[in-house]
Amino acid sequence: MNRDLNPTHDPQLRSWISSANQPGTDFPIQNLPFGVFQRRDQPQESRIGVAIGDRILDLHQCYRSGHLQNLPEVLQQACAESSLNPLMALGPWSVAMLRPLLQNLLRADCPPPRLSEDLLLQDLQVEMQIPATIGDYTDFYASLFHATHVGSLLRPHNPLLPNYKHLPIAYHGRSSSLLLSGRPIPRPQGQRKGADEPYPHFGATQALDYEMEVGFLVGQGNALGKPIPIAQAESAIFGLCLVNDWSARDIQAWEYQPLGPFLGKSFATSLSPWVVTLEAIAPFRCPAFTRLAEDPPLLPYLSCFDNAKQGGIDLTVEVWLQSALMKDQGIQALRLSQANFQDMYWTLAQMVAHHTSNGCNLRSGDLLASGTISGAEEGSQGSLLEITRRGAQPFELPSGEQRRFLQDGDEITLRGYCRRAGYVDIGLGLCQAQITASI
């Protein structure tokens, strides 16, 4: 039994909001993820909301109506802010106190409180926002299978570089181009050079790709020069979201040596609007990836008993594609990939411990992403680079179209969910975006 389970995970809990009890909902009462929204009739004011079924509970209005009065004042004030940063910065105790109180407002076996009409909102009444002020963004490369697939395309006889199994690889991304789910992605332009071309040329990418990832937002950060030990690393994480780290593979291939990703990545990264807390996913924890006997031993700063025992997460992530023609013809999106986060070689705690091991300071609201999630089996590759083997093996859509990489009008949807016998499924919502022509 997971030692972090508590009454908020009770699978028998039901809400008086009927949509929260429907099979297939991402947001049952056991989930209660956090996000930020603006009311369409008050677009100048951002507020924190909690997803419950097909409704959004307005925490600012809860505060004003006195429904949070049993919480410490500092926590009440954080719920009334315009971003999640102050709430996340309080640390895990804030979620541990807030979730039971919110459940008591929403659970079916308690008398429904007299809620004002402004307390529970519908999707059409709001416009979601990026949930936090994100100062920095780091993208890891934590899937052994993704690294092996890509390495096999570039270095068939030596797919993994020597450092891969010793430390979590990452690069520092650009936070200014983080976009909320639903924002279109203009096709980027840049320098490209074909293998048989003597000189590069400038133009729109012909190899636009997605990357199926899970992101996690920092709650409490660390002081500069003070690393976070791996045993405490998860205390620095507030929760999870979905991330699509778009990639222009032809731009990337020409520019990435010797310093790594730049314009082939920095044009856009999409993220989902709801942040699912680590506490909510406690029933779905699992052991960390089992390293092979021939793998190098972990250095002590990347190893601890709790991380090995339950550092993984049984979280299924999928990517779906619908072309403009498919939409016109009424053809549903095609699932391109389904993989599980428990197959990641490096855990969340190891990523945080390594990120701060040199004394780097993380701050509340920083976004860290896992890197592309891929599995060992066919159908679990988290990018078109892997699926089409750098475009050499195109696949066919139900409309008869072929794809090597993304075309204008294509819409990519990521979804993620946790499912385990004996517990209620919870989801991360959707991360969607459509490709548009170059500006």
Q: Does the annotation place 141 within a ligand binding site?
A: yes
pLDDT at 296 over 90: yes
CA dist., res. 231 & res. 303, Å (int): 8
Using CB atoms within 10 Å of the CB of residue 256, give its burial: 0 to 12 exposed, 13 to 18 middle, 19+ buried: middle
Q: Does the annotation place 411 within a ligand binding site?
A: no
| Average pLDDT over all residues of the chain | 96
Q: Burial code of 67-81, b = ≥16 C-beta within 10 A, e = fewer?
A: bbeebeeebbebbbb
Q: 423 falls in which pLDDT band (50, 70, 90)? A: very high
Of 186, 184, 239, 251, which Cα lies nearest the Cα of 215?
239
Q: Are 213 and 245 in contact (CB under 8 A)?
A: yes
Q: 321 falls in which pLDDT band (50, 70, 90)? A: very high
Q: Does the annotation place 396 within a ligand binding site?
A: no
Known catalytic residues? 146
Q: Does the annotation place 318 within a ligand binding site?
A: no
Q: Does the annotation place 193 within a ligand binding site?
A: no
Q: Does the annotation place 347 within a ligand binding site?
A: no
pLDDT at 178 over 50: yes
What pLDDT score was predicted for residue 58?
96
pTM (predicted TM-score): 0.96
Q: Does the annotation place 25 within a ligand binding site?
A: no
Q: 112 falls in which pLDDT band (50, 70, 90)? A: low
